[in-house]
Structure 1
Amino acid sequence: MFENLSERLERSFKILKGEGKITEINVAETLKDVRRALLDADVNYKVAKSFTDSVKQKAMGMNVLTAVKPSQLMVKIVHDELAELMGGKAVELTLENRPAIVLMSGLQGSGKTTFSGKLANMLKNKQHKNPLLVACDVYRPAAIQQLHVVGESVGVPVYSEPDNKNVVEIANNAIREAKAKNYNVVIIDTAGRLAVDEEMMNEIATLKEAVNPDETLFVVDAMTGQDAVNTAKEFNDRLDFDGVVLTKLDGDTRGGAALSIRTVVTKPIKFVGTGEKMEAIDVFHPDRMADRILGMGDIVSLVERAQEQFDEKQAKELEKKIRKNKFDFNDFMSQIQQIKKMGNIKDLAAMIPGVGKAIKDVDIDDNAFKGVEAIIQSMTPKERANPDIINQSRRQRIAKGSGSKIEDVNRLLKQFEQTRKVMKMMTGGNSSKMMQMANAMRHMKGGMPKM
């Protein structure tokens, strides 16, 4: 995400490199380029101008320390202003009622149904809530069935009345069901609608008034750029929603919606969708997003994702095995599965400072571990538990069984041994689950068998 904007901003800051101090002339030249970069990223013109004016005012008003280079100072100012532009800090959901009610709104095709499932999954697994999904899209063919499929995939029940077209009745009946069965969050998926469709806008306004939701979220496809901002404003004028959800942010190279929407509608971005998997949902942190836009990575989010997947008890058991040099391919496969659950591999790698730019043109998809998994699965249980017994004849059989070359098997075994040594060295002190995972990824990256 934001690759083009990141590159353009980096080029803009180079104007100040080598300069001894900040002057009105070199600041003006730099910010002219920054403004162009923002406009090319589909940022609202007024937002872009206001942003660069604010940066200029702060840059010219600062006493630059001799230890700080002008370009470094400009990066710091732009970073802080970007974070402020996107809201300053993360804003959590307010779920106070029992049951708490979350109402989804947005255009057709914006990803409301999928996001409803992602939100239910997050509330269930991270906040230990007991959510109920409600199918109130009574117009789109197969919409109810789609929500049932989504609900089943995340283990969350779905309330629906296929023969009823009255969304207020359906929602109220669902809330009664939630109270009776102790569901503490009700997530209402609604039909996509245009802001100019008076009848449909009246319907969702009536539905909001009837259920009095704790949160009304506007779900919008980030790839629609400035159109997303305009649509958000129109919906907000009618619904006065509480927050924005940007879906498909992983496919957006411009990012104008994320940078403009907070200023235009004065409502926070609460979540972003970062992929197709049900786990691909992030709370929106403006400061972390500013880090990523400026190529600084996002280590905090990476560590948080790792902590969500790595069980403390399992980690201690794994550490014992590593200390005794008993780390085997079963453990290795388990680590791979946990890494895959964290999200898109390329997106994860881009969270490491400096890596995002390096892998910009490298194709790393969710099948990055496919060749490795095929080789491990071709081993016998005895071989997976005792990697040292894998001799040349066993390697040939494993290569044939996995549809790979003998060189691929040899490379994996070498990488496995390197990983095992690194992890054993780390357990000599205060070992870190995150570092174990990072080192395992580092040793596999770039040298994984190509199938």
Structure 2
Amino acid sequence: MAFEGLADRLQNTIQRIKGKGKVTEQDVKEMTREVRLALLEADVNFKVVKQFINKIKERAVGQEIMESLTPGQQVIKVVKEELTNLMGGEQSKIAVADRPPTVIMMVGLQGAGKTTTTGKLANLLRKKQNRNPLLVAADIYRPAAINQLQTLGKQLNMPVFSLGTEVSPVEIANQAIEQAKAEHHDYVIIDTAGRLHVDSDLMEELTQIKENVKPDEIFLVVDAMTGQDAVNVAESFNEQLDITGVVLTKLDGDTRGGAALSIKAVTDTPIKFAGMGEKLTDLEAFHPERMASRILGMGDVLSLIEKAQENVDEKRAKELEEKMRSASFTFDDFLEQMGQVRNMGPLEDLLGMLPGANKMKGMKNLQIDEKQLSHVEAIIQSMTKKERVDPSIINASRKKRIAQGSGRNVAEVNRLLKQFNEMKKMMKQMTNMQKGKKGKGFKFPFM
């Protein structure tokens, strides 16, 4: 999870003050010292840390909190609110042009993931807002960037406008917008050139594109794993271009999170989106309040619900639930359900969105091996249709055949069959308990 180190430190700190019936100024002082260290270790800008801590101190020692019936909880509420404000307060949405197309310029240094993010953004706009974007290859210095965007366009079945490497980026952008108007595209997303470092030639070119096409949004793509350097890059681009939003990439990596917590405060530019993985679907709108909740271990149920709504067929889910309750759940159903859950993202990330999940026994170091899930799929797919519906017919020779077909061993086949039977028993017992019958205690499979 993003902010893992910061989240651990902050959660341990606020846990000590959470249940206190009375909170003294000394308690607040000790807590803010720990919070300060946690933020500095996460590579948050030291000026930002100072302002943040002063705001918490000012609010946490107020009369309203000190005299509250639950002062510990109130202090945590203050920390969450200030953390939310630090990251922008509320979600910042894309500015839409009065007359289409809405033009978005994507800018940033090489290696930040700008071209891939351009494809991800187009995919998100089409999938979630039913938009019709046109991608524009305006990086004439790197033929590989043009090829990459064209490849992404093919994967997404989305048009890419390109005039090769001999035409100026300004002319490419102008002609792309004319084509977008003619073909009724409501968004134009321009993938501009990057450099290894900020330089005057790059900024001059980007300024010319900006003055010519007058974009509705200028998104700076920055690599969250570069820490404080990401903030410095954001400052440089903002001074020259007046960027309107930031897209943080690799926020799912082993990052200390300082960039996300500093950029809004330093540049007064909102974080609009966050890249949470390598797939073209792994771009999310950035919600400061939800991120603050996740950092403080309060979960992110709203995002979890949204992922479920996007990836799970509600009607089919009810049918599967009924099958589980009636013990008619088959391996085909199991395979389908597993596929829907996997489409929602890495399972440890989904579990991390549950409130208090970080405090559950065994959750702290839980890592779900995707390979193991693939092994389970391979075993099920090696079964015949009849075996998937009625696993009781799977005898020793059938197990041997299934193991060979899936590239696994018989012990793994036995383990899966046992766990599947336990799960069916568990669901039956839960149904009996709901009907008021006494069910025997059961043990969760896979645990």
TM-score, scaled to structure 2: 0.89
SS at match of 1:250: coil
2:40 maps to which residue?
39
Give per-residue Cα distances to partners, 1:162-198, cap 9 Å, x unaligned.
2433011111222222222222211111111367411
State the identity %: 53
2:78 maps to which residue?
77
Question: Does 1:344 pair with 2:346?
Answer: yes
Q: CA deviation at 1:229?
A: 0.8
Paired with 1:220 and 1:188, the residues of 2 have a C-alpha distance of: 16
Judge conservation of contact 1:88–1:287 (CA < 8 Å) in 2. yes
How do 1:214-225 and structure 2 match up within 5 A?
214-225=216-227
Paired with 1:180 and 1:399, the residues of 2 have a C-alpha distance of: 57
Runs of 5+ unmatched residues, structure 2: 435-442
How do 1:269-288 and structure 2 match up within 5 A?
269-288=271-290
Q: CA deviation at 1:410?
A: 2.4
2:368 maps to which residue?
364
Q: CA deviation at 1:424?
A: 6.8
In structure 2, relative to structure 1, the CA distance for the partners of 1:368 and 1:222 (3 Å cut) is farther
In the alignment, residue 239 of structure 1 is paired with which amino acid?
L
Paired with 1:140 and 1:126, the residues of 2 have a C-alpha distance of: 31
Paired with 1:119 and 1:423, the residues of 2 have a C-alpha distance of: 41
Paired with 1:429 and 1:156, the residues of 2 have a C-alpha distance of: 52
SS at match of 1:101: strand
SS at match of 1:132: strand
Runs of 5+ unmatched residues, structure 1: 431-441
In structure 2, relative to structure 1, the CA distance for the partners of 1:135 and 1:443 (3 Å cut) is farther
How do 1:118-133 and structure 2 match up within 5 A?
118-133=120-135
Paired with 1:302 and 1:107, the residues of 2 have a C-alpha distance of: 32
SS at match of 1:369: helix
Q: CA deviation at 1:244?
A: 0.6
In structure 2, relative to structure 1, the CA distance for the partners of 1:443 and 1:111 (3 Å cut) is farther
1:57 maps to which residue?
58
Paired with 1:150 and 1:427, the residues of 2 have a C-alpha distance of: 47
How do 1:25-424 and structure 2 match up within 5 A?
25-61=26-62, 62-64=64-66, 67-68=69-70, 70=72, 72-96=73-97, 97-193=99-195, 196-319=198-321, 321-322=323-324, 325-356=327-358, 358-420=362-424
In structure 2, relative to structure 1, the CA distance for the partners of 1:52 and 1:182 (3 Å cut) is same
Q: CA deviation at 1:356?
A: 4.0
In the alignment, residue 288 of structure 1 is paired with which amino acid?
R
Judge conservation of contact 1:344–1:365 (CA < 8 Å) in 2. no
Judge conservation of contact 1:279–1:342 (CA < 8 Å) in 2. no
SS at match of 2:243: coil
Paired with 2:217 and 2:426, the residues of 1 have a C-alpha distance of: 47
Judge conservation of contact 2:143–2:165 (CA < 8 Å) in 1. no
Judge conservation of contact 1:277–1:343 (CA < 8 Å) in 2. no
Judge conservation of contact 2:22–2:66 (CA < 8 Å) in 1. yes
Judge conservation of contact 1:195–1:235 (CA < 8 Å) in 2. no
Give per-residue Cα distances to partners, 1:256-305, cap 9 Å, x unaligned.
01111111111111100011111111111111111111112212111110
Judge conservation of contact 2:65–2:71 (CA < 8 Å) in 1. no
In the alignment, residue 86 of structure 1 is paired with which amino acid?
M
Q: How many corresponding residue pairs?
A: 434
In structure 2, relative to structure 1, the CA distance for the partners of 1:15 and 1:396 (3 Å cut) is same
Give per-residue Cα distances to partners, 1:125-155, cap 9 Å, x unaligned.
1111111111111112411111111222222
SS at match of 2:371: coil
What is the aligned-residue RMSD (CA, Å)? 2.6
Give per-residue Cα distances to partners, 1:209-252, cap 9 Å, x unaligned.
21122211111000111111111011011111111100001114
Judge conservation of contact 1:8–1:37 (CA < 8 Å) in 2. yes
Judge conservation of contact 2:312–2:341 (CA < 8 Å) in 1. no
Q: CA deviation at 1:92?
A: 1.2
Judge conservation of contact 1:134–1:174 (CA < 8 Å) in 2. yes
